[in-house]
Homo-oligomer: A and B are copies of this chain.
Amino acid sequence: MTLNPIISTMGRRLRLAVIGGGPGSFIGAMHRQAARLDNRYEIVAGVLSSNPERAKKAGIEIGLKSERSYTNVFEMLKTESARDDGADVIAIMTPNDSHYAYAVAALDNGFDVICDKPMTNTLENAEKLHQKVLDSGLVFCLTHNYTGYPMTRQAKAMVMDNQIGTIRLIQVEYVQGGNADENDPDPSEGELPWRYDPAKGGPSLVMGDIGTHAHNLVRFITGLEVREVAAEVGNIVPDRQVHDYAGALLRMENGARGNFWVTQAAAGVENCLRIRVSGTKGSLEWMQEFPQTLTFKPLNAPSQIRTLNGPGSLPLSTRSCRIVAGHPEGFHEGFANIYSDAAEAIAARRTGKKADPLALYFPNSLDGLLGVRFVHSVIESSQADGKWVKC
């Protein structure tokens, strides 16, 4: 726990410009709160909507100066890159189909980038964007925010510390009920209607929305890549045009086996992202709805309930907490951890100093590429009668 200082290596907060996240966007407010929590960013510019009038108004509403509440993304990138006090970082929180173009343009203008997931809709764009990030030397952070929770970081740290042994079995599920109502299979009105249009939302709603989170969390905690998948993906609600469930069996690179289940059509369920990892020395279990605890079941010893900053906490976890044990942190703090770690990396890059190595576990463009590739492998296996497909 610290004073939550501005970035000392910079001598100031990073200047952030946002793309998207205007009125009605839950995730936009979340990005801004995450940026603000630790005082490492100052939001200085933005294009908050694709509608110019709404964009201007919303930017002012969130506290931007009028001239920096832009109405065109490419104009903002050009103008801000020319200003002495211009933005350092661009955060993208628009519909999925625009991530690629905005991220490429931001990188081309020399900005570090924070981008919502999934990285792109197509595998081709994912590969190109990842290559561009590598070539640019800039920081690219993908907001797979569930890896920012202190207890998923504790899980990862325990795996890295060999407290779990060799990983053998993985179960991951992400079950929601938001799309369970059969009376409204493809809402064209209401919140985020673009998600129900494959041209904007991507080839698989459920995989892009939550499947990539589940896949990323498996890779984050275990440190293992998925090598092969046997899967089915489709819609369980009749007359729906998009996918609302996917199931898969996984073969990991080390021979471990996994089970994967995601759906947004489980009536009455809220946001049950749950992972269990079993190794030769014990099992770990974490659920997003109660993220403040991590269950550890060691081989031949009593089960343990690990808590934020509680006994046995490892550095990767404790540095992700702002509070003493017994006081839960939530979704916002996990999201802010991703932002604050990216800030550390960005400041290090800009100043030529070395970042705290523990800050460098935020998701990046490789994670984004592998996530998009996993979506496509699941679809491929499903179309091939469930046969095993390489990832």
Contact = CB atoms under 8 A, between A and B. Distances in A.
A332 B26 CA distance: 18
Contacts of A198: none
Nearest to A28: B3
Contact of A331 (B165, B263, B268, B327): B327
A261 B64 CA distance: 49
Interface in A255-300: 255-259, 261, 263, 265-272, 276, 278-283, 288-292, 296-300
A29 B2 contact: yes
Interface stretch (A122-130, A346-354, A383-391): A383-391
A262 to B, nearest CB: 10
Contacts of A241: none
Contact of A267 (B175, B282, B327): B282
Nearest to A307: B270
Interface string A352-391: 0000000000000000000000000000010001111000
B232 A249 contact: yes
A26 B322 CA distance: 8
A329 B327 contact: no
Contact of A3 (B29, B231, B258, B304): B29
Nearest to A300: B311
A28 B4 CA distance: 10
A279 B329 CA distance: 29
B245 A267 contact: no
Interface string A308-320: 0011100000000
B324 A26 contact: yes
A182 interface: yes
B36 A37 contact: yes
Contacts of A292: 289-290, 328, 330
A68 interface: no
A278 B283 contact: no
Contact of A307 (B168, B173, B303): B303
A227 interface: no
Contacts of A110: none
Contact of A330 (B26, B327, B387, B388): B327
A169 B177 CA distance: 11
A157 B46 CA distance: 38
Contacts of A190: none
Contacts of A14: none
Interface stretch (A55-63, A97-105, A216-224): A55-63
A268 B175 CA distance: 25
B328 A168 contact: no
Contacts of A268: 278, 282-283, 296-301, 303
Pick the 10 closest A-B CB pairs, nearest first.
A271-B326, A270-B326, A268-B297, A330-B330, A230-B386, A266-B278, A302-B304, A327-B331, A267-B299, A328-B330
Interface of A: 1-6, 8, 13, 22-23, 26, 28-30, 32-33, 36-39, 58, 61-63, 165, 168-169, 171, 173, 175-177, 180-182, 230-232, 234, 236-237, 245, 247-249, 255-259, 261, 263, 265-272, 276, 278-283, 288-292, 296-307, 310-312, 322-333, 381, 385-388
22 contacts: A1-B26, A3-B22, A3-B29, A4-B33, A5-B63, A30-B322, A33-B37, A33-B322, A169-B265, A177-B278, A230-B232, A247-B257, A267-B282, A268-B300, A268-B301, A271-B324, A271-B327, A292-B328, A292-B330, A300-B311, A323-B331, A387-B387
